[in-house]
Homo-oligomer: A and B are copies of this chain.
Amino acid sequence: MMPKAPILLMAPLVLFAHSLMPVPAKLQPGVGRLRIDQNFAFVQLTGYREPRLEAAAARLVEDVARKTGIPMRPGVGLHAPSAALIVYCDHAGTAVQSAQEDESYRLTVTAVGARLDAPNPLGVLRGMATFLQLVDLDSSGFGVPAVTIEDHPRFPWRGLMLDVARHWIPLADVKRTLDGMAAVKLNVFHWHLSENQGFRVESKLFPKLQELGSDGEYYTQDQVREVIAYARDRGIRVIPEFDLPGHATAWFVGYPELASGPGPYQIERQWGIFDPAMDPSREETYQFLDAFIGEMAALFPDEYFHIGGDEVNGKQWDANPRIQEYMRAQGIKSNEALQAYFTRRVQAIVAKHGKKMIGWDEVLTPDMPSSILVQSWRGPKALADAARQGVSGILSNGYYLDLGYSAAYHYAVDPLGEAAANLTPEQKQRVLGGEACMWSEFVTPELLDVRVWPRMAAIAERFWSPQNVTDVADMYRRLEAVSRDLEGLGLTHVFEYEKMLERLAGGSAAAPVRTLAAVVEPVKDYAREAAHPYDKFTPLNRLIDAARPDSETVRRFAALVDHMSAANMPQIRAYLTEWRDNQARLAPVLENSALLAEDEELSANLAAMAQAGLEALDRLQNGPPRDPAWIAEKRALLDRAKQPKAELLLSVEPAIRKLIESAQ
């Protein structure tokens, strides 16, 4: 019954408007549709079996039930004799998930059944994620369109780094994040566990790390094991990061002797780069790290261990005569060389405990063994340098989720782009993939999903799908679908956003706040820090905190302006009228909300721009040509209105500018 697909097409978006994200490597549309109703019997596991597969099958049944609202009959679900989705897994995976494991699968759906084949459990998990995304509703009911998919990832390393140290992220939020990651086929959860602002894991050998360095906000070792098992069930590796020798103030609260400067230390409450750094000149530092890394290497099964290594400013080393004397005695000429010396010592400790070391760009020095892995926050050039040196790397530069960039911006970044594009094929093999980074200066549990999702899904596609899958409009179309799917799985990026807007409205009608929020986006890069004093206790409850880097409203409006016609002018007018009139509707809300007061000018600018856009539209539809003075005045208005206010940009400005320029 299962036809072999004769010819497979690359990313056949035109033929078949599926909503898969990431786009599979090969997809061949079929004929017909597999119906899913309350009599649908799935899923039957065949071939190699293990508890992870049983759990995945049970989750799939539950997820399909939740997506469709169709309950499954007891006994008709798992192991049904007439299963409508038959899964064949050829063999077991590795005991500890590795970056080399095969994640490929083949999924065939016809009108009468579906079959998922994979060499090992990881492929089954990926194929099930695809099946769940394929479930949709049409005029005949819920079902899955007939299709043959042969799929495998482009990169073996597809990750998300989550900083749980600057702001604490509780266990439930971590698990929810893993649910989202699995849905878009990510496979590495990089857990940034220590920082100046907190040490987040229980150490039984050095309990003062968490007792004095965490405000009580840390994971017990049992909880760590729970997260690792939860992640493994979803085909996700867990890599811990303990940032050394800088970013380590929280360690020094309990163990000041590790630091290069005199104590005592307190948990850091500010954001930024700070002076405290471990003392590379004392053998006791390495003894401590040997014991500590040994303890953590036993707790975290992954073959990689991340030691950070970024942003040491060297001031404590400069100021410590004993360290200066040590450098002279050892012939170490610079702080960079001192850090390199420290990193080699730490690398040896990591290797002794059976792990491969990962570090940020700074750890790459000419004499590092090629077993290490470089995570580049600086850019593709560092990756290319590493690859030429025989060292593997992953890209994070361009994938920082905290910097307010759009999904399209991140989507355009390729781990094999820029400097890495010129590598030899062999060198390119050393670029293993990438990781998005969620640094948490501006992230609380409430904001986590709002910041990570749905943009993370677009980056996941970059890591998984063929390099030529680059259509931004189609990406956004599918991103809307995957965003709904993610909410269905329990992610809260829409829910929390709405609740934040309700809070901003303070009991007044939230609709005008929603209208304003839909056309603003955050300032980019590190402009937030520059605009406002922030620390750990600054409330993150302003419009800038809710603001999305991607606005569906602005995309729709810009598309109308880009393809302006008599037919779509009424829609353009409706948008502009709504924005012009929103000022009056928002006024009583602004008046009663201390949180919104700062956004008054933004709202006024939106109204003024919209009024100018309406004047331009009048001209285009039936008016006399606008004189140069009008244009000059409107340009000046737009130039003013595009300036950041309250850390926000009016993202609708370019489209309105285009409209106004076209009225000339």
Q: How far is the CA of A305 from the CA of B71 in the complex (A)?
A: 32
Residues 545-601 (chain A) with a chain B CB within 8 angstroms: 545, 591-595, 597
Chain B residues whose C-beta falls within 8 Å of the C-beta of A594 in the assembled complex: 137-142
B503 near A67 with CB under 8 A, answer yes
Q: Is A91 an interface residue (CB 8 A)?
A: no
Q: Is A70 an interface residue (CB 8 A)?
A: yes
In the complex, besides A68-B539, A69-B446, A136-B506, 11 extra interface pairs with C-beta distance below 8 angstroms are A68-B541, A69-B503, A69-B540, A137-B506, A138-B506, A141-B594, A141-B595, A481-B507, A484-B502, A488-B503, A495-B495
Question: 1/0 contact trace for A63-105 toward B, CB 8 Å?
Answer: 0001111110110000000000000000000000000000000
List 22 contacting pairs A-B, 8 Å CB cutoff, sorted by A.
A19-B507, A38-B537, A38-B538, A66-B446, A67-B503, A68-B539, A69-B500, A69-B541, A69-B545, A73-B537, A137-B503, A137-B506, A137-B595, A138-B594, A139-B594, A139-B597, A142-B594, A481-B507, A484-B502, A488-B499, A495-B495, A498-B498
A444 near B71 with CB under 8 A, answer yes
Pick from B138, B142, B499, B507: contact of A592, CB under 8 Å: B138
Residue on B nearest A70 in the bound complex, by CB: B539
Total number of A residues with any Cβ neighbor in B under 8 Å:
48
Q: Is A215 an interface residue (CB 8 A)?
A: yes
Residue on B nearest A545 in the bound complex, by CB: B69
Most chain B beta-carbon neighbours within 10 Å: one of A71, A487, A498, A597: A71
Q: How far is the CA of A139 from the CA of B539 in the complex (A)?
A: 16
Q: Is A216 an interface residue (CB 8 A)?
A: yes
B137 near A507 with CB under 8 A, answer yes
Known: A446-B66, A594-B141. A539 touches B71 (CB 8 A): yes
A487 near B507 with CB under 8 A, answer no
Residue on B nearest A38 in the bound complex, by CB: B537
Most chain B beta-carbon neighbours within 10 Å: one of A481, A498, A503: A503
Chain B residues whose C-beta falls within 8 Å of the C-beta of A592 in the assembled complex: 137-139
B481 near A499 with CB under 8 A, answer no
Q: How far is the CA of A215 from the CA of B75 in the complex (A)?
A: 9
Q: Closest 5 CB pairs between A and B?
A: A69-B541, A137-B506, A141-B594, A74-B215, A70-B539
A539 near B38 with CB under 8 A, answer yes
**Shortest Cβ distance from residue A405 to the other chain B in the assembled complex, whole angstroms:** 24
Q: How far is the CA of A141 from the CA of B503 in the complex (A)?
A: 11
**Shortest Cβ distance from residue A535 to the other chain B in the assembled complex, whole angstroms:** 10
B537 near A137 with CB under 8 A, answer no
Residue on B nearest A593 in the bound complex, by CB: B137
Chain B residues whose C-beta falls within 8 Å of the C-beta of A499 in the assembled complex: 487-488
Q: How far is the CA of A499 from the CA of B37 in the complex (A)?
A: 19
Q: How far is the CA of A426 from the CA of B187 in the complex (A)?
A: 69
**Shortest Cβ distance from residue A446 to the other chain B in the assembled complex, whole angstroms:** 7
Chain A interface (Cβ < 8 Å from any Cβ of B):
19, 37-38, 66-71, 73-74, 136-142, 215-216, 444, 446, 481, 484, 487-488, 494-495, 498-500, 502-503, 506-507, 536-541, 545, 591-595, 597
Q: How far is the CA of A74 from the CA of B141 in the complex (A)?
A: 53
Q: How far is the CA of A591 from the CA of B500 in the complex (A)?
A: 34
Chain B residues whose C-beta falls within 8 Å of the C-beta of A507 in the assembled complex: 19, 136-137, 481, 484
Residue on B nearest A500 in the bound complex, by CB: B69
Residue on B nearest A594 in the bound complex, by CB: B141
Chain B residues whose C-beta falls within 8 Å of the C-beta of A67 in the assembled complex: 503
B69 near A537 with CB under 8 A, answer no
Chain B residues whose C-beta falls within 8 Å of the C-beta of A137 in the assembled complex: 503, 506-507, 592-595
Q: How far is the CA of A404 from the CA of B234 in the complex (A)?
A: 40
Known: A66-B446, A69-B503. A216 touches B139 (CB 8 A): no
Q: How far is the CA of A481 from the CA of B502 in the complex (A)?
A: 10
Pick from B70, B74, B216: contact of A74, CB under 8 Å: B216
Chain B residues whose C-beta falls within 8 Å of the C-beta of A68 in the assembled complex: 503, 539, 541
Q: How far is the CA of A481 from the CA of B136 in the complex (A)?
A: 36
Pick from B69, B538, B545: contact of A539, CB under 8 Å: B69
Q: How far is the CA of A290 from the CA of B425 in the complex (A)?
A: 78
Q: How far is the CA of A503 from the CA of B69 in the complex (A)?
A: 9
Q: How far is the CA of A305 from the CA of B498 in the complex (A)?
A: 42
Chain B residues whose C-beta falls within 8 Å of the C-beta of A74 in the assembled complex: 215-216
Q: How far is the CA of A495 from the CA of B495 in the complex (A)?
A: 6
Chain B residues whose C-beta falls within 8 Å of the C-beta of A38 in the assembled complex: 537-539
Chain B residues whose C-beta falls within 8 Å of the C-beta of A500 in the assembled complex: 69
Chain B residues whose C-beta falls within 8 Å of the C-beta of A66 in the assembled complex: 446
Residue on B nearest A138 in the bound complex, by CB: B592
**Shortest Cβ distance from residue A34 to the other chain B in the assembled complex, whole angstroms:** 15
**Shortest Cβ distance from residue A228 to the other chain B in the assembled complex, whole angstroms:** 22
Pick from B70, B484, B541, B593: contact of A541, CB under 8 Å: B70
Q: How far is the CA of A68 from the CA of B216 in the complex (A)?
A: 22
Residue on B nearest A504 in the bound complex, by CB: B137
**Shortest Cβ distance from residue A563 to the other chain B in the assembled complex, whole angstroms:** 19
Chain B residues whose C-beta falls within 8 Å of the C-beta of A537 in the assembled complex: 38, 71, 73
Residue on B nearest A167 in the bound complex, by CB: B71
**Shortest Cβ distance from residue A264 to the other chain B in the assembled complex, whole angstroms:** 16
**Shortest Cβ distance from residue A592 to the other chain B in the assembled complex, whole angstroms:** 6
Q: How far is the CA of A499 from the CA of B595 in the complex (A)?
A: 28
Most chain B beta-carbon neighbours within 10 Å: one of A71, A137, A494, A502: A137
